[in-house]
Chains A and B, each alone.
Chain A
C-alpha cells in the first residue's frame, strides 16, 4: 500500500520535476552568459556535495526556523526534485556535448536558429545517450525516497516500520519492503530497455 500511495508517486513527481530542472540547469551551464553558468555550476556543486538526508532535513526541519514551514509531502518532493536536478543536469549537459558540432552546423546551414537546432536536432540525439544514466538516477531515486520516512512521509518504508512496530515481525516486514523496492526497480529497468531499443533504431548495430 505504501508503495502505491507513497513511494511511486513521490518518485515519479520528483523525477519529472527534477528532469525539467536539470534540463534548465544544463542549458544554463552551457550558456554563454558567465553569471548564469556560474549559478548553475554552484547549484550542481552544492547538490552533489551534500548528503540527500541533510538536504531533506534542511527543508523540513530547518526552514521553519526562518519562518518557512512546508508540509512533509511537498518538502520531500522539493528535496528530491532539487537532488535529481543536480545530478541529471550533469548527465544532460554531457549528453548535449556528446552530439557532434557538425550537427549544430547542419542545423545552421538549413536556416535554423540555435534554439530550433537544440530542440529538433540536438536534444533528440542527446536523449538517446542520456537514457541509461538517467535510468540510474531514477532507480536510485526510488530507493532514496525511503529517506522521506524520516520527515514523516508515509511511504513504503515508513509504513513497514509502523506495521513492524505493532506486530514485531521486523524481519518479515523489512524483507517485504525490500522485495517491493526491488520489483519497482525491475519494472523501471524493463522500461529502460524498451526505451533504449526504441531510440536505437537509427544507429548501426
Chain B
C-alpha cells in the first residue's frame, strides 16, 4: 500500500455516532449528536463558535471523553460512553483517527522529518527506514521535500500546517479529523492548505472537517452539518445547506459568513 493512499477505499459506513453528549461542569456543550460518515466521504461541521463542533471532533479522537452516546467504527469497534470505558477501548478509538489541529501543535524540538516519523516509529513500532521513506514521500506530495531537516519555527504557518497534515497521514488512520485547519493562517496561506485537503478528499480519504471556509465546504464536502448550541440544526448536501437552507438559524449564519458587514 502506498502511504499516500487512504486505507480501505471500499464504500460503506465507517463511523456511526449516536446520542453523543458532553458537558463541561454545568455547561452542556453537546446535547445528543448523531452522525454518520461513509468511507471516502467528507463531512464538514460548521457553526458559530461555542456551538460544539470542535468538541465533536475531540470526542471522536478521545481528546475528550463523552458523557454518553455510542461511537462505532465500521462495526468492529463500538463504545457506549454511558457505561464505564476501558483504557484499551479509548486507545482503540484514538488509533482509528488522527487529528490536525488549528494551531498545528507540531513538536518544536523535533525537525519536520522527526515530527512525521515519531508516531510510526515510537508508537506503531514500524521500521525506521520504512517510516522515513514514507515520510519523505508524503512531504514531497505537499511540497515540503526540502524542509525535512527544518525545525517548525523556521516554517511559515501554511508549511507548518502541511507538516501537521503529513504527521496525521503517516499514522495511516481510517479517519482524518481537521479542527479549523486554516483559522490560524494568514489569508494568503489558506489556499495551499485547503488545496492539500481537497486533494486528499479526491483520493478518497475519509474526513471530518470543522471549518469556517464555506467555499471549501461547498466544493469538497459530501455533507455539511450545521451546529448551534450543542445540537445539529441542519444537515445535508452542501448545495442545500449553504445555498438554500431550510432553517432560519442556518440561513442567518451562512449570510453572516458570506456578508460580514
Residue numbers of A with Cβ under 8 A of B are: 100, 102-103, 105-106, 108-112, 116, 120-121, 124-125, 128, 201-204
Contacts and interface: CB of A to CB of B under 8 A. Distances in A.
B123 A106 contact: no
A202 B99 contact: no
17 contacts: A106-B101, A108-B62, A109-B94, A109-B99, A109-B168, A110-B171, A111-B91, A111-B124, A112-B119, A112-B122, A116-B122, A124-B109, A128-B109, A202-B109, A202-B151, A202-B153, A204-B153
Given A109-B99, A120-B118, A103 B105 contact: yes
B171 A111 contact: yes
Interface of B: 61-63, 91, 94-95, 98-99, 101, 103, 105-110, 118-119, 122-124, 151-153, 167-168, 171
Contact of A201 (B118, B151, B167): B151
Contact of A106 (B95, B107, B124): B107
Nearest first, the 9 A-B pairs at minimum CB distance are A110-B119, A111-B123, A106-B105, A102-B105, A109-B99, A202-B151, A204-B153, A124-B109, A202-B109
Given A125-B108, A203-B108, A204-B153, 13 more contacts: A100-B105, A105-B63, A106-B105, A106-B107, A108-B61, A108-B63, A109-B101, A110-B118, A110-B171, A112-B122, A120-B122, A124-B109, A201-B151
B88 to A, nearest CB: 12
A204 B91 CA distance: 35
Contacts, number: 60
Contacts of A203: 108, 153
Contacts of B119: 110-112
A112 B122 CA distance: 8
Given A116-B123, A201-B151, A109 B63 contact: yes
Contacts of A120: 118, 122
Contact of A109 (B61, B108, B122, B153): B61
A103 B110 CA distance: 12
B171 A105 contact: no
B185 to A, nearest CB: 16
Contacts of A116: 122-123
A47 B63 CA distance: 37
A42 B118 CA distance: 38
Contacts of B122: 112, 116, 120
B106 to A, nearest CB: 7
A106 B171 CA distance: 12
A125 to B, nearest CB: 6
Contacts of A125: 108-109
A195 B155 CA distance: 24
B172 to A, nearest CB: 11
A174 to B, nearest CB: 45
Contacts of A100: 105
Contacts of B91: 111
A121 B63 CA distance: 17
Given A110-B167, A111-B123, A105 B101 contact: yes
Contacts of B168: 109
